[in-house]
Amino acid sequence: MQKNTFVIACFFFMSAIWVSCGGGKQPKAGIEKSDFGQFNGQPVELYTLTNHQGAVLKVTTYGGTVTELQIPDKNGNLGDVVLGFDRLDGYLSPEYESNNPNFGAIIGRYGNRIAKGKFTLDGVEYTLATNNGENHLHGGNIGFNRVVWAAKALPGKEENSLELTYTAKDMEEGYPGNLKATVIYTLTDNNELKIDYSATTDKATPCNLTNHSYFNLSAGAQPTIADHLVTILADRYTEVDGGLIPTGNLPEVAGTPMDFTAPHKIGERIDADFEQLKLGGGYDHNWVLRNEKGDLALAATVYDQQSGRCMEVFTTEPGIQFYTGNFLDGTLTGKGVTYGKRAGLCLETQHFPDSPNQPSFPTTILKPGETYHTQTVYQFSVK
């Protein structure tokens, strides 16, 4: 009897230690809403999604922007792996507006560049804002990144989602058609950030949606992403001119600094004497993915050896824009970190830049009666 009492006492004692150390606690998964300020008289909300592993995703209705993504490292310590701000003011400051990095935002109606801000559709020439030199970039002066989206929380037992909707009016930013866009962010228990994009229109219109998150898998421990190892499953890329507009040529990556078919550190060749890198000040190009059927397939992998974090990017899209934060200049500080040149990298899944003017590229024209739908998954793990 005394022996049994001793065993029971030891059990409860060890259980108390386990719980006090956090071993018996499972993170409280769910989705919460809070105020994030106002924009043009509209209330802006912040949604916090938490999974059962303790990973956290924060998204604001201003621009559908991912403001924070807490992911564990190889030691189980959470760290924020995206650039951004913890206050709405950061996204509205003059410094941010002039730099215009689009941290974490939904990009539309057309992600990337359209040459000289013009395209012809069904015999009609449309003129867009030229907000990137002589070219149009990321939807114009007030793209999807600078509007307030309507939000709906979609809690679930295994994963939590946030549905965002926005309707761009006919001729908004020069584009034809009333385009209703829906973007669903999902945080799974496998530490995946899933993004589902869909849209419908009442007139034929270009549509190319993406997300512009900047990742630094060291969670700020390293000021740049130069030592991140990158793999891109692509044998060709879209060659660009001095305005970063595709020439129409799709050169092979083999034998050039554009070859990421095997892992390479970003800083290894980014300053090489290679014309394409000089044009973009580093990597700022679209890679032609091997995913010809449009199935959800692995497109790229990023690995930070120091933290052990690994990010795999899966997408249904035919292209991916690899951008290395070349235009960040240290004028922005978010969440206690100053964002200098190459502080983060983007892997923007997409159709090709300037597709409305490039008949040989996969089409981006959405027609009435059709539904645009793409999916991208950022899956995180450690090794």
Query: What pLDDT is attached to residue 158?
Result: 81
C-alpha 41: how far from its chain's center?
27
Contact assessment for residue 248 and residue 367, using Cβ atoms and an 8 Å cutoff: no
| Average confidence (pLDDT) per 10 residues, the chain, 383 residues | 41 36 62 97 97 97 98 98 98 93 98 98 98 97 97 91 98 98 98 98 98 97 98 98 97 98 98 96 97 94 98 98 97 96 98 98 98 98 97
The pLDDT of residue 22 is: 40
What are the structure tokens assigned to 116, written together? 């000289």
Residue 244 in 3-state DSSP?
A: coil
Residue 115, phi then psi, degrees to nearest 5: -60, 130
Q: Model-level pTM?
A: 0.92
CA distances from residue 262 to 45, 215, 259, 273, 300 in whole angstroms, order as listed: 41, 20, 8, 21, 10
164/144 Cα distance (integer angstroms): 11
d(CA 320, CA 312): 13
Q: How confident is the model over 230-261, as pLDDT tens digits?
A: 999 999 999 999 999 999 999 999 999 999 99
Per residue in 24-54, pLDDT (tens digit) is 455 689 999 999 999 999 999 999 999 999 9
Among candidate residues 192, 183, 197, 230, the one with its CA nearest the CA of residue 344: 230
Give the model's pLDDT for residue 147.
98
Interval 327-352: pLDDT, tens: 999 999 999 999 999 999 999 999 99
Pairwise CA distance, residues 289 & 335, whole Å: 34
Residue 236: strand pairing partners? 252, 288
d(Cα 11, Cα 114) in Å, to the nearest integer?
67
Whether the CB-CB separation of 370 and 109 falls below 8 Å is answered with: no
Residue-averaged pLDDT of the chain = 93
Q: How far apart are CA 254 and CA 87, in angstroms?
A: 44
Six-digit token string for 332? 């922005």
Residues acting as catalytic residues: 212, 348
pLDDT value, residue 26: 59
Distance of CA 361 to the CA centre of its chain: 23
User: H/E element holding 92?
Assistant: helix 88-92
Question: Domain 30-382 adopts which CATH fold?
Answer: Beta-galactosidase; Chain A, domain 5 (2.70.98)
